[in-house]
């Protein structure tokens, strides 16, 4: 595959990571909905639950679906569902309607998360896979930190945070159109060897299993102790990320008495730091081993999160938020690349399993809501400390 052809194929796939990152709108939207509808923390946290439970339910079936439809077609379906979900709250704005819209966002994002990573692997040399996935996470992080900024702007200028939804819907439509015009057929059989085998054309070459697989075939992969450890690593890092995304604004409101519009920008600061961390990660992974980057990230996350709940001074809180963003940035792509490289011939199934771990966001959020109701946001953050501690323990399992 020529460099120019590889770039033409990778560019729309990378834009798909921006669409994927828009799932983090649920964090800021949850806080606005909590204020708009007067919800308790435990009730408000059902909104992100409706998003992330689909990662548990649909990730493995999506991995199997890719064996039939192909990764590119699966991504396009996910983008279509996401586009529809972003428009629903503009038609009717009620708590129950938000639950439906967030559920669709979760379904669409599950398809994107499962299919985009191996699709990017198809157009990336194996030696650059971790760096390419990290670049994808960098682009995803840009969408994540823009969400609270656009929501705050929409709330002030347009009178409602929902003004951000048409913006993201437009980006989704552009990304789907670009990817739809790039590449060949939809199924692996149609796509493998199309175009590029002849040195021309733009068909995506999809690698992986041709033999049919079942849900049980996928779950049996968890018998591999390293795959199982990496799976729970994904549960931990997504739980940490979603927990911070949702809880940081409430912590700033409770601990420092900031209004919601300003407190929501604390989430943007976190995502800005995460974006910067992804950029630094792309550079570091060219010089350091994945294991070293992972270990430093885990140590930084444990230290920053352990100190955060006791802080009452704004600048120290903001500094620790930045450190947390830097720490979280590169963990997921390292875990994902390690899993794909463990059994590359089962890439679709492995991808489904790893993204099933994204349901960690759903597992932890109700517990954090209950803790926050009784012990405040600082207590919820202390509970979240279990996630980077697990990652620190996992560091020795990440191969160089």
User: Of all helices (H) and strands (E), which one includes residue 183?
Assistant: none
At 284, is the secondary structure helix, strand, or coil?
helix
Joined tokens for residue 358: 């994204």
pLDDT of 185 > 50? The answer is no
In the predicted model, what is the mean pLDDT of residues 374-400?
87
pLDDT digits (tens, 9 = 90+) for 111-161: 998 899 888 878 777 667 777 777 887 888 788 778 778 888 888 888 888
pLDDT digits (tens, 9 = 90+) for 312-354: 888 899 999 999 999 998 898 899 888 888 888 787 788 888 8
- Extents of the domains making up the chain: 3-397
CB atoms within 10 A of CB 318: 17
**C-alpha–C-alpha distance, residues 289 and 269, integer Å:** 28
In the predicted model, what is the mean pLDDT of residues 73-77?
94
pLDDT of 262 > 80? The answer is no
Helix 129-153 to helix 260-284 angle, to the nearest 10 degrees?
160
**C-alpha–C-alpha distance, residues 113 and 54, integer Å:** 11
DSSP state string for 359-399: GHHHHHHHHHHHHHHHHHHHHHHHHHTHHHHHHHHHGGGS-
pLDDT of 203 > 70? The answer is no
**Residues present in the chain in total:** 400
In the predicted model, what is the mean pLDDT of residues 213-230?
84
**Which has more pLDDT, 235 or 184?**
235
In the predicted model, what is the mean pLDDT of residues 251-280?
82
Burial of 123 (0-12, 13-18, 19+ CB in 10 A): buried
pLDDT band at 199 (very low <50, low <70, confident <90, very high): very low
Helices (H), the chain: 3-21, 25-37, 41-44, 46-69, 71-91, 95-122, 129-153, 164-181, 188-191, 215-220, 225-256, 260-284, 290-307, 314-328, 331-342, 347-356, 360-384, 386-394
CA-based nearest residue to 82, from 172, 183, 188: 172
Among the residue ranges 8-12, 186-190, 368-372, the one predicted with the least confidence is 186-190
In the predicted model, what is the mean pLDDT of residues 26-42?
82
pLDDT digits (tens, 9 = 90+) for 344-382: 878 778 888 888 887 766 678 788 888 888 888 889 899
Report yes or no: 183 and 166 within 8 Å, Cβ to Cβ: no
Torsion sign across C-alpha atoms 116, 117, 122, 124: positive
pLDDT digits (tens, 9 = 90+) for 49-72: 888 788 888 888 888 888 888 889
pLDDT digits (tens, 9 = 90+) for 157-176: 888 888 889 999 999 999 99
pLDDT digits (tens, 9 = 90+) for 86-104: 999 999 999 899 999 999 9
**CATH architecture type of domain 3-397:** Up-down Bundle (1.20)
Query: Which CA distances in Å does 335 have to 22, 93, 137, 258, 360?
Result: 21, 38, 12, 36, 14
Q: In this predicted structure, what is the pLDDT of residue 210?
A: 46
Q: In this predicted structure, what is the pLDDT of residue 205?
A: 58
Q: In this predicted structure, what is the pLDDT of residue 121?
A: 79
- Alpha carbon 131 to its chain's center: 16
Burial of 156 (0-12, 13-18, 19+ CB in 10 A): exposed
């Amino acid at each position: 595959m020529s460099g120019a052809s590889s770039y033409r194929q990778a560019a729309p796939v990378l834009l798909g990571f921006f669409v994927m990152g828009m799932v983090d709108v649920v964090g800021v939207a949850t806080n606005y909905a909590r204020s708009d509808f007067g919800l308790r923390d435990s009730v408000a946290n059902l909104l992100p639950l409706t998003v992330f439970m689909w990662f548990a339910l649909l990730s493995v079936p999506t991995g199997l679906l890719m064996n039939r439809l192909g990764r590119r077609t699966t991504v396009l379906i996910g983008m279509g569902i996401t586009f529809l979900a972003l428009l629903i709250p503009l038609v009717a704005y009620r708590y129950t309607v938000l639950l439906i819209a967030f559920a669709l966002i979760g379904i669409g994002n599950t398809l994107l998360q499962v299919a985009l990573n191996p699709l990017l692997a198809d157009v990336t040399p194996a030696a650059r896979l971790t760096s390419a996935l990290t670049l994808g996470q960098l682009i995803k992080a840009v969408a994540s930190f823009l969400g609270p900024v656009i929501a705050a702007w929409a709330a002030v200028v347009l009178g409602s945070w929902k003004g951000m939804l048409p913006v993201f819907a437009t980006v989704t439509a552009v990304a789907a159109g670009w990817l739809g015009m790039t590449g060949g057929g939809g199924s692996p059989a149609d796509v493998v060897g199309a175009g590029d085998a002849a040195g021309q054309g733009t068909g995506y070459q999809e690698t992986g299993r041709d033999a049919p697989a079942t849900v049980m075939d996928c779950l049996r992969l968890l018998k591999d102790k390293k795959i199982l450890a990496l799976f729970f690593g994904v549960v931990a890092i997504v739980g940490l990320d979603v927990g911070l995304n949702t809880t940081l604004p409430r912590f700033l409101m409770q601990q420092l008495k900031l209004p919601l519009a300003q407190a929501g920008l604390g989430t943007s600061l976190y995502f800005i730091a995460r974006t910067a961390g992804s950029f630094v990660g792309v550079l570091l992974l060219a010089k350091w081993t994945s294991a070293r980057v992972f270990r430093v990230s885990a140590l930084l996350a444990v230290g920053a999160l352990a100190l955060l709940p006791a802080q009452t001074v704004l600048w120290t809180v903001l500094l620790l938020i930045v450190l947390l963003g830097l720490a979280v940035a590169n963990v997921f792509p390292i875990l994902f690349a390690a899993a794909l490289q463990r059994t590359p011939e089962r890439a679709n199934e492995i991808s489904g399993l790893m993204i099933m771990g994204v349901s960690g966001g759903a597992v932890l959020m109700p517990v954090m809501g209950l803790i926050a109701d009784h012990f405040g946001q600082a207590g919820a953050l202390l509970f979240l400390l279990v996630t980077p501690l697990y990652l620190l323990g996992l560091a020795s399992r990440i191969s160089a």
